[in-house]
Structure 1
Amino acid sequence: MNVLLADDESLVRSSLRSMLHDLSIPVQVIGEARNGEEMVELVRQRQPDLVFVDIRMPRLNGLDAIRRGKAVSPYTQWVILSGYSEFAYAKEALELGTHGYLLKPASPEELAQCMSAAVAEHKKTLAALNLEFEHMLVSLLHGTGPRDEMNLGPFFSHCEYHCVMFVMDSSRNDTDGCRRQAFDSDLQQMMNDLPQGPKSRAALLTLREGHLALIWARDVSAGSERDQLCADGKQVITSAYEQCVEQCIQRHSTTGFAIYALQTAGGSSCGIMQQQMAELQSLASLRMLLPDGQVYKLTDLQSHAIRPDVRQLAIRLDQLCRHYAAKDYVNYHKELTQIEQCLTTLHLWHGSLALDHVCRFMNRAIGAGLSPEHASAHWIRLLQQRGENILADTPSENNWQGDLVQRVMAYVDRHYMNDIGIGQIAGEMNVTPNYLSSLFHKKGGITFVKYLTKTRMLKAKELLLTRPNLKIQTVAEQVGYHSTRHFTKLFSEYYGCYPSELREKHRA
Structure 2
Amino acid sequence: MKLILVDDEKGIVDGIKIIINRYIPECEIVGVAYNGLEGGNLIQELQPDIVITDIRMPQVSGLDMIKWLKDKGSQTKFILLSGYADFEYARRGMQLGVQSYINKPVEEEELQSCVQQAMKAIRADRAKRQEVDDLKQEVRHLIQENALRDILDVGSDNTELMEELLEMAQIPTKGNGFAGFVLEFDSKLDALKEVSLQQVFCQVDLALEQYDGVYRFRYTGAQVAVVVTQGGPIRYAELLRSVQRLKEEVNLKLELSVTIGVGTIQERAAGISQSFEEARYALSYKVVKGANTVISFTDIINLSGRIQAVPEERIAKLEAALENMDEKECAGIIHDIFQLMEAEPSMTPADLQMQCVNILLASIRKMSFQQLQQNDFLGRHILSLDGISRFRTLECLEEWMIQVIRRIIEFKLEHNIPKKKDIIAEIKEYVSAHYNEPITLADLSARFFISPYYLSQFFKQKTGETYVSFLSRIRIGKAKELLERTDLKVYEICQRVGYSDTQHFARLFEKLTGCKPSEYRKRLPSS
Q: TM-score, normalised by structure 2?
A: 0.48
Structure possessing the higher radius of gyration over alpha carbons: 2
Q: TM-score, normalised by structure 1?
A: 0.49
